[in-house]
Amino acid sequence: MLGRDKALEILGTAIAYSQAEMTQVAVEIGESSLTRFANSVIHQNVSERNAGLGVKAVIGKRIGFATTNRLDEDSIKTVVDKAVSFAKHSEDNPDFVSLPTPKPVMQIETYDERTATYSPEDRAAVVAGMIAEARKHGASAAGSLSNGYEEFAVANSLGVAAYNVFSLAGLTTVMTADSGFGYADRISTSIRDFDPIEAAVEAAARSVQSRNPEAIEPGEYDVVLLPYAVAELVEFLSYLGLGALAVQEGRSFMCGKVGQKIAGENVTIWDDGLDPRGLPRSFDPEGVPKQRVDMIVNGVANAVVYDTYTAYKEGKESTGHGIGGIGTHGPFPTNMFMQPGDSSVEEMIASTKKGILVTRFHYTNAIHPILTVITGMTRDGTFLIESGKITKPLKNLRFTDSVLERLSNVELISKETRRQAWAVVPAIKARGFRFTGATEF
């Protein structure tokens, strides 16, 4: 591990080499390891250690960007020279004003030594327990268990200097019982935060329950969406238009809608990179402190997130949502939360006369960003609900639907939430979800 002093020393060396008017340098270095299993057998153990150094050089309103994964002094000088050269040969960006100036960064705990140093033997023992649980249910186990850490530091010639180290553990499993499939995943900065056996039980039990699925005609159905599925809807809102660049370019569903109702009154969505219930980060890749942004409040469009570039265009301040690199994709919220309710999945099912329970979505893609229309497939546990009970498993369905239209028709929201990669979300029950096609499996 580099440590704060060494990381910032590398950045200082790069800035000193630069002949640009303004320079930003970021370094990340870390280790990641993974144990993968299929057919209830471990078949792969891998570990990787890598580094990356990114340099942004600014000359007037021209910007150049270059990267390397070598941190020796000659390589640092070479990549700085490339970034400066790219800037000299780039066209002016008339909207560029400045790199960020320094602001105090809150120190938060994001590193767990046990998670960073979890060994192949540790992971194998966990996976063995999950495989044993699958066998108890008559299921076959597949998936992966990963762990690692990453150091990230960013500095610029205006005085920004920020450093953080965080650990991460992730678990994904798909269980198979004949023709039935079940899914579960877990993610956290600490491997102590989740129980792999509990995840295995969830996936295995659902795989048994979903055996011998039957077909159903596509159409509009009330749905109970588990948090895996809800997270996909919420994350697509981030991608489709909760960043300022999308609004400034006229391709966001938030355009002209701030202050207007765009979802149900029971829907509130915000982003908070400092909340430990998610995957916290104290600053963004520009070194700007994270701020909470309430994006949709009681169904009303309220705000979008900013990086330095988009904030300067409107005379505002960055909310700490830059994504690094050259910044051409604009800012995104990546620590999202959806406000829980007072219901449970069991109550949602009991209140449904006829509907479909969806575990998760797969291969989801955007169709119309302004209308928030997306399409994808159900996967790993789709069930028919009749008269308040799950009556049979269903073959997977294709859906084509508007995220905001569905969030405008949410009847119930669960008390329980689940942490996903970009979002912490509850389960929901919503009216009139549009299924547009069927599958053979």
Are 300 and 323 spatial neighbours (Cβ–Cβ below 8 Å)?
A: no
Same domain, yes or no: 159 and 269? no
Specify if 204 maps to a domain: no
* Mean pLDDT computed over 305-322: 97
Same domain, yes or no: 175 and 227? no
- Which of 279, 286, 295 has its CA nearest to residue 243? 295
* Mean pLDDT computed over 161-178: 98
The predicted pLDDT at position 381 comes to 97
The predicted pLDDT at position 138 comes to 97
The predicted pLDDT at position 224 comes to 98
287 sits in the region (left: phi over 0; alpha: psi -120 to 50; else beta) called left
Chain centroid to CA 116: 20
Specify if 208 maps to a domain: no
With vertex at residue 229, the alpha carbon angle to CA 274 and CA 415, rounded to the nearest 5 degrees, is 60
Same domain, yes or no: 157 and 36? yes
The predicted pLDDT at position 161 comes to 98
Query: Residues 1-29: pLDDT tens digits?
Result: 899 999 999 999 999 999 999 999 999 99
What residues form DSSP beta bridges with 220? 434
The predicted pLDDT at position 329 comes to 85
| Whether pLDDT at 328 is above 80 | no
Q: Give me the helix-helix angle, 73-88 and 4-17, nearest 10°.
A: 50
Task: Decide the pairing of beta strands 423-438 and 336-338.
Answer: parallel
The predicted pLDDT at position 98 comes to 97
Specify if 207 maps to a domain: no
CA atoms within 13 A on the CB side of 282: 19
Burial class for 260, CB neighbours closer than 10 Å (0-12, 13-18, 19+) = exposed
410 sits in the region (left: phi over 0; alpha: psi -120 to 50; else beta) called beta
| Whether pLDDT at 196 is above 80 | yes
Query: Residues 389-403: pLDDT tens digits?
Result: 999 999 999 999 999
Q: Final residue of a domain: which of 199, 224, 255?
A: 199
Same domain, yes or no: 395 and 259? yes
Portion of the chain with pLDDT greater than 70, in percent: 100
* Mean pLDDT computed over 373-388: 98
Same domain, yes or no: 172 and 278? no
Same domain, yes or no: 190 and 333? no
Same domain, yes or no: 229 and 195? no
- Which of 240, 269, 275 has its CA nearest to residue 373? 240
Specify if 238 maps to a domain: yes
Same domain, yes or no: 297 and 354? yes
* Mean pLDDT computed over 123-149: 98
Q: For residue 13, count other CB atoms closer than 10 A to its CB.
A: 15
Q: The whole model's pTM is what?
A: 0.96
Specify if 316 maps to a domain: yes
Cα distance between residue 236 and residue 249, in whole Å:
18
* Mean pLDDT computed over 55-80: 97
Same domain, yes or no: 168 and 42? yes
| Whether pLDDT at 259 is above 90 | yes
Phi, psi of 245 (to 5 degrees): -65, -40
| Whether pLDDT at 428 is above 80 | yes
The predicted pLDDT at position 132 comes to 98
Phi, psi of 230 (to 5 degrees): -60, -40
Tokens for 130, please give them.
């999950």
Portion of the chain with pLDDT greater than 90, in percent: 98
Specify if 83 maps to a domain: yes
Q: Final residue of a domain: which of 150, 169, 199?
A: 199
Specify if 206 maps to a domain: no
**How many independent structural domains does the chain possess?**
2
Same domain, yes or no: 155 and 290? no
Q: Domain range holding 59? A: 4-199
387 sits in the region (left: phi over 0; alpha: psi -120 to 50; else beta) called left
Q: Hey, is 441 helix, strand or coil?
A: coil
Specify if 243 maps to a domain: yes
Same domain, yes or no: 165 and 224? no
Cα distance between residue 368 and residue 405, in whole Å:
13
Give residue 325's pLDDT band: very low, low, confident or very high (50, 70, 90): confident
Give residue 327's pLDDT band: very low, low, confident or very high (50, 70, 90): confident
Query: Residues 89-127: pLDDT tens digits?
Result: 999 999 999 999 999 999 899 999 999 999 999 999 999
Task: Tell me the chain's radius of gyration from C-alpha atoms.
Answer: 23
The predicted pLDDT at position 324 comes to 83
Q: Final residue of a domain: which of 149, 164, 199?
A: 199
Domain CATH number, residue 110 = 3.30.2290.10
* Mean pLDDT computed over 275-285: 96
- Which of 263, 297, 301 has its CA nearest to residue 430? 263
Same domain, yes or no: 222 and 89? no
Please give the single-letter amino acid code of residue 212.
N
